[in-house]
Each structure stands twice: as structure tokens, then as C-alpha cells.
Amino acid sequence: MRHARLPASEEIALEDVFHALSDPFRLEVVRRLATEGEQSCQALEGDRPKSSVSHHFRVLREAGLIRTRNEGVTRMNALRRDDIEQRFPGLLACVVPQPKE
Amino acid sequence: MRHARLPASEEIALEDVFHALSDPFRLEVVRRLATEGEQSCQALEGDRPKSSVSHHFRVLREAGLIRTRNEGVTRMNALRRDDIEQRFPGLLACVVPQPKE
DNA sequence: GCCAAAGTTCGAAAAATATCGAACTATCGA
DNA sequence: TCGATAGTTCGATATTTTTCGAACTTTGGC
């Protein structure tokens, strides 16, 4: 993999996180990763072209919200739950529909 | 921006809040309103021209983060702390340096 | 009434983002 | 090795935001 630009937990910037989450598509992606666990890109693309989906995943990745790993021919995207929680405690809880406890 | 001038608490949209907070100047304004209480616009303007400051306060207002009232010839801006807390519990705590309690 | 102070609005220009097709890359399976 | 699948990258265009000066509004003081 060539472009792995993945900020370390301490490097995650609040402005970047907010910017990433200010787009409805990206916000929905984060919510689904949170509730459904890791997903391929195409599992979350709506009717968008691949290049647009790829762009949004990149924004999420560079903001530090998700991590991507290869699995065969697909790439699985996972929310960096612990890293985000450690850096900005409580933030994810505002974003994600609360699971019953 | 999606909302009219001063959204009611229930109308505050998370995307709008995130967008408003994704700008460093606006994030800093929110932090200062949180720690120092209500302020006039000019108390928070840096070296920016008035029209730019006014623009940023408008974004914050339309996102539902602040409320503005007239006081003589100045306008005082206050964080809508309770409204935000009610709508998105815990969000402000991520943004604002925690006061010692 | 006139003036100054504090913001707002307008309009144009600059900068940042988003969108989308086409070409490219990497991996798997036959 | 060939073909298909899943994404990425590139480049060009479109849309959205930001910036800033100038003109305007509102309020208070004289």
C-alpha cells in the first residue's frame, strides 16, 4: 500500500475530525461502521461513483477516524474507536446512535 | 448552511455544528465563550476585518451554537450551552477545556 | 439632528472541497 | 496469463466557503 497517511492517536486534530464529520455521507459512514463493524467501501457506497466514495474514505482516514486494511481484493474499513475515544472522550457517543446498555 | 437564523434546540443539526466547529477561528470563539462567558464580537476579533468576524459569528449562530443579544451599541454573544447539551449531550465537553471541579 | 461605535450586508474575487469519468493498481481465481 | 473485482489516482469542472472593502443600520451621547 502506498498511501497510508494515518495520523497517530495523539496527532488527531479536532478541526479535522469535525470537518470530516460535517459531510452527511461521511457522517453516515461513521455511524454505520460504529453500529455494523468494519465494512468494505462498496458496502457503503450509495449510488455514488467509486472515485467519490474513495475520496470520502480518504478524508475519514486522513482525519484519523478510520483505518483500512486489505482483505483479498477488497479493503475493509474500521472505525478507530479506541483511538478516538482516547483522544476525545465522549465524542463518538455524540455521533453514533446509542446502543442500549 | 441549511438552517434559518436561529434554530430551535431540536433543530440543531449535527452536520452544521461540526461544520461550524471545523474552522479554527470559530472553534476558538466557542472555547472562549465557554470559559469566559458572553462576549462582544470585537472582544474576540483578532486582526480580522469586521466583515470576516461577522461572517464567522453568523455561521455559529445559524448552526445553533451561539445566541446574540443587543446591549446598547454592541452585541453580546453567548454559547447556547444548555441547548447544545440537551441536543448532543457530551459534545461541548469534547470541545472545551475542562474546568476543574 | 449629527456624529461615532459596533455590527451587518453586499458583491466580487480567492481558496478550498466535491464530483465524476477515465486510466491505473493490486489481488484473486480459473 | 487473462479477466474480473475493488479501490485509488488524476485532471478538469462545479460548488461552497472564505475573505475583505465599501456602504448601510442601529444605538447612544452630545
Mean pLDDT by 10 residues, chain B (101 residues): 66 97 98 96 92 97 96 95 96 84 63
Contact between the CB of B19 and strand C at under 7 Å:
no
Q: Is residue A78 one of the residues assigned to a domain?
A: yes
Shortest CA to C1' contact from A25: nucleotide = C18
Task: Give residue A97's pLDDT.
Answer: 75
Q: Is residue B62 one of the residues assigned to a domain?
A: yes
Q: Is residue B81 one of the residues assigned to a domain?
A: yes
> Grid coordinates in use for A51?
472515485
Q: Is residue A22 one of the residues assigned to a domain?
A: yes
Q: Is residue B77 one of the residues assigned to a domain?
A: yes
Mark residues 17-46 of chain A whose C-beta is closer than 7 A to nucleic acid strand C. 19, 23, 25
Dihedral pair phi/psi, residue B78, rounded to 5°: -130, 145
Q: Is residue B65 one of the residues assigned to a domain?
A: yes
Which candidate, A2, A6, A22, A4, places its Cα nearest to that of A64? A6
What's the domain range around A73? 12-92
Q: Is residue B41 one of the residues assigned to a domain?
A: yes
Chain D: positions less than 7 Å from a protein CB are: 4-11, 17-23, 26-28
Report the interhelical angle of A14-21 vs B14-21 (nearest 10°).
140
Which candidate, A32, A15, A46, A23, places its Cα nearest to that of A79? A32
Q: The domain that contains B19 carries what CATH number?
A: 1.10.10.10
Task: Give residue A22's pLDDT.
Answer: 98
How many domains does the structure of chain B reveal?
Answer: 1
> Grid coordinates in use for B33?
465563550
Task: Give residue A98's pLDDT.
Answer: 73
Tens of pLDDT, residue by residue over A68-89, are 999 999 999 999 999 999 999 9
Q: Please judge whether B27 and A15 are an interchain contact, meaning their C-beta atoms are less than 8 angstroms apart.
A: yes
Tens of pLDDT, residue by residue over A24-50, are 999 999 999 999 999 999 999 888 999
Half-sphere exposure of A21 (CA within 13 A, CB side): 27
